[in-house]
Amino acid sequence: MAEVEVSHDCAVQTITLNRPDKLNAFTHALHGELQAALEEARDPAVRAVVITGAGRGFSAGQDLTAFGEARDVAAMLRATYHVNVTAIRSLEKPVIAAVNGVCAGAGLSLACACDIRLASDAAFFVPGFVGIGLIPDSGGTYFIQRLLGTPRAFEWMTSNRRLTAAEALAWGLVSEVVEADAFSARVAEHAAGLAAAPTRAIALTKRLYDEAATSTLEEQLEREAAAQAEAAQTGDFREGVAAFGEKREARFSGS
Ligand code: LHQ
């Protein structure tokens, strides 16, 4: 059985972590299949990506039973988690983490590496790392600091406190909480909306926000000017302006 399943619905690619008996904990095989799925998502026909989990978990992080033989932890992180986290950030389209259930350790880091987090009301969030004497890896110090700010990120990640979906919403960790029964439909609706949006402008916006974290205002204004010049060359910009003039909904093609 595949440890990652990939499906397509029009321009939306859904990537499902698929080890439900182990709450989709990461193995070497799962990393490899996730890497292949993210590579597949680079196809221009894909205009939005959803990452979710099978069963009652999003991901419980590293499979702690499959980790024992990893002698060089840093090399293991570089070869697996780093590859997939950077693939998500460099993917030129929006990536939704559809957090269907428990989200812990590097599973939490992966969710936080995505552009948008939607949570089922059955989801809960656990740092995990500190519970086994580790630091938040796979971007856990980078993304969670940006999402929550240093004081809250530090306090949470060092407490191992279990956060409900409602608390995650109140903290700004997720943007929406949906009843479990309605979750997949809401995720599909949100992803379809993004897939019908001007893909190039969204890709440029994603990159600009990533760069803004370490830029001066002057650098960022220049980056915006260059990106806007690029966006203004797209078919979607022409379509957007034409639709405005004709008082109709724009039909963006991603071109
Ligand atoms: C698991 C796991 C799991 C294997 C649940 N592995 N089986 C990077 C590089 C190098 C080294 C290590 O780490 C990393 C990054 C990391 O991700 S470190 C953090 C690793 N994750 C954790 O420490 C979380 C461990 N899991 C838990 O604390 C709980 O399972 C949570 C809070 C996630 C869920 O609790 P429950 O809802 O009560 O579920 P459960 O504990 O009953 O788990 C269900 C099954 O899943 C169970 O298997 P079993 O055969 O007994 O039914 C668990 O053993 C298995 N499972 N997490 N990470």
Run of H or E including 154: helix 150-159
CA-131 nearest atom, ligand 1: 23
Directed axis angle between helix 28-40 and helix 81-90, to 10°?
20
- 251 lies in a domain? no
Based on the domain organization, do 53 and 179 belong to the same domain?
Answer: yes
Q: Look up residue 55 and give its two tokens.
A: 């069963």
Q: What is the largest CA-CA distance in the chain?
A: 63
> Does residue 70 carry a pLDDT above 70?
no
Q: What are the pocket residues of ligand 1 if the criterion is a CB atom closer than 6 Å to any ligand atom?
A: 22-23, 25, 60-65, 67, 73, 77, 102, 104-106, 126, 128-129, 131-132, 134, 137
Based on the domain organization, do 240 and 154 belong to the same domain?
Answer: no
- 252 lies in a domain? no
Q: Rounded to two decimals, what is the model's pTM?
A: 0.97
Tell me the per-residue pLDDT of 156-213, one tens digit each, with 9 for 90 and over. Answer: 999 999 999 999 999 999 999 999 999 999 999 999 999 999 999 999 999 999 999 8
Tell me the per-residue pLDDT of 89-136, one tens digit each, with 9 for 90 and over. Answer: 999 999 999 999 999 999 999 999 999 999 999 999 999 999 999 999
Find, among 57, 59, 66, 65, the residue nearest to 85 by Cα: 59
- 254 lies in a domain? no
Based on the domain organization, do 127 and 235 belong to the same domain?
Answer: no
- Nearest-CA residue for ligand 1 atom 58 is 63
Q: Is there a catalytic annotation at residue 121?
A: no
Ligand 1, residues 22, 65, 120: which to mutate, most atoms within 8 A of Cβ? 22
Cα–Cα distances (Å) from 59 to 25, 26, 152, 158, in that order, read 5, 8, 22, 20
Provide the domain limits for residue 32. 4-195
